[in-house]
Amino acid sequence: MLKTFALTLAASAFVAVAATPSYKVSLLENAIVDGKQVKAGDYKVELNGNTATLKHGKNVIEVPAHEETASNKFATTEIQFDNKNDLQEIHVGGTNTKIVFGGANQTAGGAE
């Protein structure tokens, strides 16, 4: 009985980890996300609830973000900044997924 429970628990943990969406994104220039400096480079972006984790080698940055679904698929991955080089959104190419950075109140005036 204990073996079955441990196996079920392990399988559940694997499903939870596998369900966390992650995307690979290349930033061609330095940016600012939630007041944090992010250097140009290749990043793995993972979404977990209302938090995005940007991983670049050993550097890990956690910032508020959420996922939205656009009405149409994006042909290529697009990164949107504001005039101050703050990262606003990532449109994931080949999907209709949009990662929106910042709190819920920031999206109302964000770039579209």
d(CA 4, CA 8): 6
The model's pTM: 0.73
pLDDT digits (tens, 9 = 90+) for 8-58: 333 434 444 456 789 999 999 999 999 999 999 999 999 998 999 999 999
The pLDDT, as a whole number, for residue 6 is 38
The pLDDT, as a whole number, for residue 20 is 79
pLDDT digits (tens, 9 = 90+) for 60-84: 999 999 999 999 999 999 999 998 8
The pLDDT, as a whole number, for residue 9 is 39
Q: What are the helix (H) ranges across the chain?
A: 2-18
pLDDT of residue 107 exceeding 90: no
